[in-house]
A = this chain, B = another copy of it.
Amino acid sequence: MELRHLRYFVAVAEVGSLTVAAKRRLHTAQPSLSRQMSDLEYEVGAQLMVRTARGIELTAAGRVFLDHARLVLAQVEAAREAARRAAEPSKPSFAVGFLTGQEMDWLPEAMRILRDELPNMEVTVSSQYSPQLADALMRGRLDVAFMRPEAQTPDLVYRLVTKEPLVAVLPDDHRLAARDVIDPRDIVGETFVSVSNTAPALRVVINDYLERSKLNITPDHEVDNLAMAMSLIASTRGVAFLPAYARNFMPRSVVSRPLKGDAPTIDLVVGYHKANASPTLKLFLSRVDELITRGRRS
């Protein structure tokens, strides 16, 4: 078995077709990929996929193997990054990631904490979606990230920063904008804007809230990012439930209102890889409470 097998398998599993995976993802030929997958199954000693006229479907063993294969490939990337880091000790780096939109609230505090370290190291800052932040932490590309607690990340440790309430976001001339507080039942019949799987944790919170409110609302739109959300809210006169920090992105024609009653919250956490032995990370974590205290906004 070689990493090539794992790479091929992950691609095939994700695409669901040898032909398409060969052509679109792996730039190889379908017969070659077919043989590689057969070789892999022979070496694992289990059938990983069922071939059908419509493509492939993973077996139970295949699904188990897929999780492991992804982990292995992530570990290989982490190995490479870790070796590179170790090879360049001249000016250590500390990489901080932010859930897009959270930089405004938390970057100043994070930099204040790291102030004393700054002359001796290179702090890099980036912003991404939460799943990508999780992936970067897993791969060793980030030391710490302000993110959502992502599922199925056993090697990541999360420290709660704040529980952020969701608010209703809607056009400023919407009939509901006259309310000081929005009852979720008022949303029935309105154009509803939700989020895609680029924000799985938020999606779960929104869906749970709708269920808790006994509302069977199917989203009219699902968006990938806040800018798109604002645009859709304004242009389709829709309503969305978004974390409060989304107010940082509202154009003039869009307003926010609190939700009535027990508003749902979503966690913002500081995440890091538990195997990360960086002394700067240790310092950072030791002052996280201070950052949280100073950084909170009601």
Chain A interfacial positions (CB closer than 8 Å to B): 1-4, 6, 43-48, 59-65, 68-69, 71-72, 75-76, 78-80, 82-89, 154, 274-275
Please determine whether B72 and A76 come into contact, CB atoms closer than 8 angstroms: yes
Given contacts A46-B88, A64-B85, 7 further A-B contacts (CB under 8 A): A1-B76, A2-B4, A64-B83, A64-B86, A65-B86, A68-B79, A68-B82
**Which residues of B are found within 8 Å of A69, using beta-carbon distances?**
79
Q: With A76-B1, A79-B68, A79-B69 as given contacts, are A84 and B44 in contact (CB-CB < 8 Å)?
A: yes
- Which residues does chain B contribute within 8 Å of A47, judged by CB atoms? 87
Residues in chain B near residue A2, CB distance under 8 A: 2-4
Q: Which residue of B lies closest to A46 (CB)?
A: B87
Sample (25) of A-B pairs whose CB atoms are under 8 Å apart = A1-B3, A2-B3, A6-B76, A44-B79, A44-B80, A44-B84, A45-B83, A45-B84, A46-B84, A46-B86, A46-B88, A47-B87, A59-B86, A61-B83, A61-B84, A61-B86, A61-B87, A62-B83, A63-B86, A64-B83, A65-B83, A71-B75, A71-B79, A72-B75, A154-B274
- By a CB distance below 8 angstroms, the chain B residues around A48 are 83
- Given A3-B3, A4-B2 in contact, is the A78-B84 Cβ separation under 8 Å? no
**In contact, B65 and A72 (Cβ under 8 angstroms):** no
Q: CA A2 – CA B44 in complex, angstroms?
A: 17
Q: Given the complex, which residues of B lie within 8 Å of A44, measured CB to CB?
A: 79-80, 83-84
| Chain B residue nearest in CB terms to A41 | B83
Q: Which residue of B lies closest to A65 (CB)?
A: B83
How many whole Å from A28's CB to the nearest CB in chain B? 15
Q: How far is the CA of A2 from the CA of B72 in the complex (A)?
A: 12
Residues of B within 8 A of A76 (CB): 1, 6, 68, 72
Q: Find the B residue at minimum CB distance from A60.
A: B86
Closest B-chain residue to A69, C-beta based? B79
Nearest neighbor of A76 in chain B, beta-carbon distance: B72
Residue of B nearest to A88 (CB): B46
A68-B78 contact given A46-B83, A83-B46, A84-B44, CB 8 Å threshold: yes
CB-based contact B80/A1 at 8 Å? yes
Complex: how many Å from CA A71 to CA B59? 26
CA distance A89 to B72 in the complex (A): 24
Q: How far is the CA of A79 from the CA of B4 in the complex (A)?
A: 15
Please name all residues of chain B whose beta carbon is closer than 8 Å to the beta carbon of A275 when the two chains form the complex: 154
Cβ–Cβ < 8 Å partners of A68 in chain B = 75-76, 78-79, 82-83
- Cα of A165 to Cα of B45 in the assembled complex, Å: 44
Residue of B nearest to A275 (CB): B154
